[in-house]
C-alpha cells in the first residue's frame, strides 16, 4: 500500500515572490515550476520545505470562500526558525513560547497572508498533565 501524504496547495497573488520568500524564510527548495507562456505567472509549482512538500500557483480566479490555509513546521529550533522568517519579512503573530503540549511554538504571517506555525517538542507531558493543561487553557477567556 502506498504511503499517504498531505500536500498543501497555495493559490497566491504573486507566486514568484512567494517562492523566493519561502526559500529565504524556511529553506524551501524548488522542485518544479510551470509558468504562463509569458513567464509572468505560475500555473503550478512544487517546493520542498525540508522533508515536506507544498504546491502553489498564482490565483487565476476569485476564491470561492474566505478560507485560508495555514502551514505548520516541526523544526529542530523554533526560536531560530521564527527569527529567520521574521528577518525575511514575515509578521510575527505569536512569539515562540513553551506551550502546554510540551513544545516551543510560535506563529508568523507571511507577506502573502498565509499563516505559518513552527514548533520544537522539548518535553512529552503525561496524559494527566495534558488533561489538566487543556482544562486550564479552555477555562481562560479566548481572544
Note the pLDDT tens digit of each residue in 74-109.
889 999 999 999 999 999 999 999 998 899 999 999
Measured in degrees and rounded to the nearest 5, phi and psi for residue 134 equal: -65, -45
Q: To the nearest 5 percent, what fractions of the chain are helix, strand and coil?
A: 25, 35, 40
Residue 28 CA to residue 73 CA, distance in Å, equals 12
CATH 3.40.47.10 for domain 9-60+69-139, yes or no, is no
- Let me know how long the chain is: 143
Nearest to 119 by CA among 86, 71, 47, 87: 71
Query: What mean pLDDT, rounded, does the chain reach?
Result: 86
> What per-residue confidence (pLDDT) applies to 134?
79
> What per-residue confidence (pLDDT) applies to 113?
85
> What per-residue confidence (pLDDT) applies to 141?
76
> What per-residue confidence (pLDDT) applies to 68?
57
Residue 115 CA to residue 118 CA, distance in Å, equals 10
Residues of the chain short of pLDDT 50, as ranges, are 1-2, 64-67
Amino acid at each position: 500500500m502506498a504511503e499517504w501524504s498531505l500536500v498543501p496547495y497555495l493559490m497566491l497573488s504573486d507566486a514568484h515572490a512567494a517562492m523566493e520568500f519561502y526559500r529565504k524564510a524556511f529553506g524551501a527548495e524548488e522542485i518544479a515550476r510551470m509558468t504562463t507562456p509569458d513567464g509572468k505567472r505560475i500555473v503550478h509549482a512544487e517546493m520542498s520545505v525540508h522533508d515536506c512538500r507544498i504546491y502553489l500557483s498564482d490565483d487565476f480566479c476569485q476564491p470561492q470562500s474566505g478560507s485560508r490555509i495555514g502551514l505548520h513546521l516541526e523544526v529542530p529550533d523554533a526560536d531560530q526558525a521564527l527569527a529567520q522568517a521574521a528577518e525575511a519579512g514575515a509578521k510575527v503573530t505569536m512569539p515562540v513560547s513553551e506551550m502546554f503540549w510540551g513544545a516551543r511554538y510560535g506563529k508568523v504571517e507571511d507577506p502573502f497572508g498565509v499563516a505559518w506555525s513552527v514548533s520544537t517538542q522539548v518535553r512529552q507531558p503525561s496524559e494527566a498533565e495534558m488533561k489538566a493543561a487543556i482544562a486550564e487553557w479552555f477555562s481562560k477567556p479566548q481572544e
